[in-house]
Structure 1
Amino acid sequence: MVMSVRMAPPLPLIFLLMIHRVSSADWGVSYSPSHICALKDSSVIMNCTYKYPTGYQIMRVFWTKTKDKKETEEFPDLSNDTEYSQRLQYLGDKQQNCTIRLSHVTLNDSHEYYFRFITDKDKWLGKPGVTLNVTDLQVESPERVTEGDSVRLTCKSSCTLTDRATFIWYRNSQPLTERRDRNNELLLQSVRREDAGRYSCAVHGHNHISPAVQLNVTYPPKSVSVSISPSGEILSGDSVTLICSSDSNPPALNFSWFKGGTIVGSGRIFSISKISSDDSGEYKCRSINEHGEKYSDNLTLNVMYPPRNVSGSISPSGEIVSGDSVTLICSSDSNPPALNFSWFKGGTFVGSGRIYSISKIRSDDSGEYKCRSINEHGEKYSDNVTLNVMYPPRNVSVLITGSGETVSGDSVTLICSSDSNPPALNFSWFKGGTFVGSGRIYSISKISSDDSGEYKCRSINEHGEKYSDNVTLNVMYPPRNVSVLITGSGETVSGDSVTLICSSDSNPPALNFSWFKENESSAVGSGQSFSALQSGCFYCQAHNQHGSQRSDTVTVTEHHRSSWHVVFGITVECGAFFILAIIIIIVILFIIKKRRSVKTEDLTVKQVNHPDTNNFTEAKKSIDQLLSVSD
C-alpha cells in the first residue's frame, strides 16, 4: 500500500502545479508609492489597487501591518485597532481600489502596511507592502553668533518628505514675513541683535511646528543711560542713587562713573548719601564688555529743596464776629518758589491760592485752618491757625429728663441747651408767656397736674438771644372728683330703671368704671353708665393705669304704681336721708294745714285726684331745689 502511494503517477500533481502557476498571475496588490515619508500630525494617503481571478467574489477587505510581539492575530484588521479606528479611512471598494487615508500620524505609526482581501475561494496578502516613515522637524543653528556675522539655520527631518515641501520659519512664534529661505534653510546675513530669539520651522499646509531653538547674538554695549532714584531733581539732604543701564550681550560687568572728566566711582550703582549743593554737576557712566565699551550721555544733578517754613496768618486780627470778612494768607520758603497752595479746614480741602478769603463769615466757618505749599520737589503743611467766630445763641432746645410718662408726684427736670460763642450764661424759663425761673436747669419736685403746660427757655450771650420751641409737659394722674349723675328725677316705678352716669377727672381719661351697691363687695355693673332696676344706695369707681377713686353714694327710691305713693329719689348720701325726711314732713304738715278736712292716711291719694294737684308739684320742685343746694 505504501508502494502504491509512492509509485502513484505524478501527473495529477503536475497538473495542479500548472493550474496554480497560471492563476497566480490573476492575483496581486500594487502600492504607489511603496515608501512614504510623512510629517508628524499630517494625513497620509496610501494609494492601492488589487486584482483577483474572474469568477471570484470578494468577501472581506482590510489593511494590516507588520505583526507586533504583543499581537496574537497573524494579520490584525487595523480598523478594529483602537489606535487606528478613528484615524483610518478606507477610500477604496471591493473591486479594484484599496486606497486608505491615515490621519494625524505619529512617530509610532512608522511601520510596513499591507492590504489583505478574502474571496469566497481563497485569500491574498499584498506583500511587500507600503513602508511609512513618520518624522518631526528639528532646527539646526549655532548657539551663539556675533553681531555682523552671517548665520544659516536648517530645518531637518529624519527622512526626505514624500510630498514637495515649502518651509515656513518663525521667530518668537511670529512668522517671518521676509522670504529669506532657501529650500529648508534660513540665511541671516549680517545678523543684528534684533535677530536674536527662538526660531522654529514648519511645512506649509501642516500644523506641526518644530521645537524652538534659541539664537543668541552677542554685541558690545549700546543704549547706555543713567537714571536717578528718586527721580526728578534732587533735594538737599536726600540719599541719591545713580544707576547705569546698558544693552549688551553678554551683559556688561565693568562700569565706571565720572563727574566732569574725573572718575568718582565704579559699579553699576553709584550712591550719594545726604547730598548737598556741592554734589551738583554733570555725571556719566561707562559700560564695558568683551566686545567693546560705551559712555552714557551727561546727566545734570541739580540740588533743590521743597517748601519749608510754611505759615498761615489771619487778617484782621482780634475778635471775629459772624458777618465779618476775613482773609487767610499762606507764606513759605522753597526752591523753586511754590506756585501751588491749598487750604484745609480740619482735613477737608476748602480752597486754593496763597490767599483765601471768606466774606460774611458764619459760625460754621470756625475751626482749625492750615495751608499746604507745593513745588515740584515736595510739599509741606503749615501749623494750624484757629479761626474763632463769635455768634449769638442758636439751636436752643429743651430736654425733659426721664423717660416715659410724667406722673403726678414725680420730680421733673428741664434742661436748656443752646449753641453760641461765647457760650450763653443767662437762661430764663417761661410757662406760656409767664416767667417761672432762671438757670440752665429748671426743676419741679412733686409735680402736679397744675404744672402741665407749654414750657420754653431763653438763651442769652453778649451777641444776642434766642428762645427755644415750646415743649409740652403733660402730667398724668389717677381719677379724682369722681361723681354720679342721675338722669331724670331719680325715682323708679316698679319694672322701670334709673340711669346713673359716672364722671371723673384723670389723665389719661378713665376707661374702666365699676358700679357697687352700698355694703356689697361685688360689683353690680360696669361701664360709664349703669341702669338701676331697684332702690338702694349706689356708687361708682373710676380706673386708669395710675390708680382709681370711688364716688359718693346716691340713692335710688322705688314706688309701686298700685299704692299711689310718691317717693323722691334724691342725689344725696344715704346718711343724709334723715334730713330729707324732716323736709318731707314739713311739707306734708303744710299741706295738712290747708286740707284739714282730709284724713292724714288718705292724704296722698286725695292729692293725686284733687284738681289742686299743682300744689303738690310745686312742693316737689322746692324739694329738688333744696337738694341741689345741698349738693
Structure 2
Amino acid sequence: MLMSVRMAPPLPLIFLLMIHGVSSAGWGVSYSPSHICALKNSSVIMNCTYTYPTGYQIMKVFWTKTKDNVEPPDLSKDPEYSQRLQYLGDKQQNCTIRLSHVTLKDSRKYYFRFITNKDKWIGYPGVTLTVTDLQVESPERVTEGDSVRLTCKSSCTLTDRATFIWYRNSQPLTERRDRNNELLLQSVRREDAGRYSCAVHGHNHISPAVQLNVTYVSVLINGSGEIVSGDSVTLICSSNSNPPAEISWFKGGTFVGSGRIFNISKISSDDSGEYKCRSINEHGEKYSDAVTLNIMYPPRSVYVSIIQSGQIWMGDSVTLICSSNSNPPAEISWFKGRTFVGSGRIFNISKISSDDSGEYKCRSINEHGEKYSDTVTLNVMYPPRNVSVLINGSGEIVSGDSVTLICSSDSNPPAEISWFKGGTFVGSGRIYSISKIGSDDSGEYKCRSRNKHGEKYSDAVTLNVMYLPRSVSVSISIIQSGQIWAGGSVTLICSSDSNPPALNFSWFKENESSAVGSGQSFSALQSGRFYCQAHNQHGSQRSDAVTVTGEAFINTLLHS
C-alpha cells in the first residue's frame, strides 16, 4: 500500500482539493520487498521504483530515515551512512540503493524522497530493515555419550534463503550433521567439546562462540614444560566412580599398564604418542580423553634426496630435499663442500651449470643438537668447451726436433680427442708427438674434442719448421753484350730450399779454396767448373759444380 505526502504552504480548502486531485495522479513509490531481515555486517539491496506526472523534471533524489521534518535529511550526507550507502538508481524511475556493513543500529524504516521542478514527494510506508545477530543455543555441559542439539537463532527470519555453517574452535565442521539451523551431535564424544559458533554461507559474520563441555575421565601429566628424551614422566588417571574403578592404560589401542599411576623412566621418542586411561567397575566403563606425549629429541636420520632421474645435463633444474627426524622440527642448512649455499628443507638449482658440480650435504639443527647428512654428488654433464692446443716448448722449431702438441678440453664425460693437419686426420689422444720433425710437418694443426653431448674444435696452431738450405743448384743465364765472340758472359744463379730463406751465397771455382764471388748470381768470365754454397742461421749446403767452357759458352748462346 502506498501513501504520499506533499509539502506545500497552506491553501484554501477548495483549491487544495483541486490540486490534490490533479497532482496525485501519476505519483508513487514502490518498494520490493517492504520488509527486510538482514544479517549483521552484510550488504542490503533495497529495490525501489518511482513514478511522477508526465512533463515534470526530476531535480533531486535521496533516501532518508525520518518523515517528521519538513525537509528530511539526506542519508548520503549522514556520516553514519555516507561511506556505506550507494545509490544504484537513476533520475527517471529506479531508486534502488545498497547499504553495506549493516549494524544493529541500522534497524529502522527508510524512505525515498524526490523533488521535481514543480513539487516534492516522499514514499510511504517505506522499507522496514531489521538487522539481526546470530546466537547459538546449547546446553552448558553434557556427559560423554549423550545426544545434544545446538540451534543457530536470529531475531527475525532472514529475507535471503540461508544455508547455515557451523564452527568448532573457529574451524569449520566438515561433517554435515546440520538440519536447517540445527546441529545434532549424537552420542557426543570428548572430542566434541569446544567453542561452537554459526554463520550463514556467503556472509563473513560469525556468531559469538558458546562453550560446550563434555564430562569425561581425565589424565594428568606430572610435571610441566617440554619432555626431553631421557626424562622420567608420570601419568595420573583421575576418575569418579562408586565402587572405585580399576584403571588400565593404553597407548593408542595397545594396553601398556595398570593402576592409577603410569610411569615411564628414561623416556625416548618411541614413547611419543597418545595415552588414555580406562576406568571400569561393575556398572560400566569410561575412557579418558587421550593425552599426547610429545618427546623432544635432536635430529636423526638425516639424508638428502635428489629429485632428478638419470643424468644431470647443464641447464636442467635440480632439486635437493633434506629429510630429518627431530622434535621440534629442525632448521636446515645446505653446504657444497664446506661452503654454505642455502637454507630450508628444499634446495633448488635452476639452469644448473658445471660450476654447480660437487658434493652437497644438509645440516639439521634444533635446540637439542645437530646432525649432518651423508654427501650426495651432483655430476653435471656438458659438451666440450674451452678447447685449445698447447705447443710443448717455446722458440723456434728446427728440423730434427721432437715436438709435442697437447689438447686441453673441459667436458663431462671426458671427451675423445682427434688431431688434424689442415683437414686431414693425423692422430688421436690428448697428446700428439712428432719425433725428428721435418719440413713436411709444417702446417696448421687443430684438435677436436667430442663426447656424447657434442663436439668442439680448437683454434689452429701453426708449426713452422726451420731447416738449413737443401736442394742447392746452379742455373745458367746468358747475357749478350755486342758480338757473340766478343764480350759475351755467362751468369750463374744459385737456388736453394731453406727456412728461413738463405740470404748469403758464396761462389767457388773447383779445386780453389777461396771464394771467387758472392750473392745469388755470379758472372763467369772464364772457363772452369763452378759451384755455389747457400747459408742461413741453421747451416749451409753447396751445389754440384757446373762446367763453363768456350764451346759450352757458344752452345749456350746458340740455344738461348
Normalising by the residue count of structure 2, what TM-score does the alignment of the two structures yield?
Answer: 0.41
Structure 1 or 2: more helix by fraction: 1
Task: Tell me which structure has the larger Cα radius of gyration.
Answer: 1
Normalized per residue, the structure richer in strand is 2
